[in-house]
Amino acid sequence: MLSWAVVFLIVAIIAAVFGFFGIAAAAAGIAKILFFIFIILFLVSLVGGLMRRT
């Protein structure tokens, strides 16, 4: 999922360079959402792994 966030971030940067502001904003928004979902899933799996050890 983090790879998708990186892909959309790259798409947003390329679109911003060429002046497609609507596409850049949409891709940046998707990248931001996927990044936060990745962080939440990472924290849940980290806590789950720590709970399993004890």
What confidence tens digit (pLDDT) does each residue in 16-40 have? Answer: 787 777 877 888 888 888 889 888 9
Q: What is the mean pLDDT of the chain?
A: 83
Residue 54, pLDDT > 70, answer no
Global confidence as pTM: 0.63
Among residues 9, 35, 37, which one has the least CA distance to residue 24? 9
Which pLDDT value is given to residue 44?
92
Residue 1 has pLDDT above 70, yes or no: no
**Gap between the Cα atoms of 12 and 49, Å rounded:** 34
> What whole-number distance in Å separates Cα of residue 8 and Cα of residue 6?
5
Token code pair at residue 40: 């939440």
The CB-side HSE value for 47 (13 A sphere, CA atoms) comes to: 5
Q: Where are the domains of the chain?
A: 2-53
Residues 4-14 have a mean pLDDT of: 82
27 is written with which tokens? 């891709």
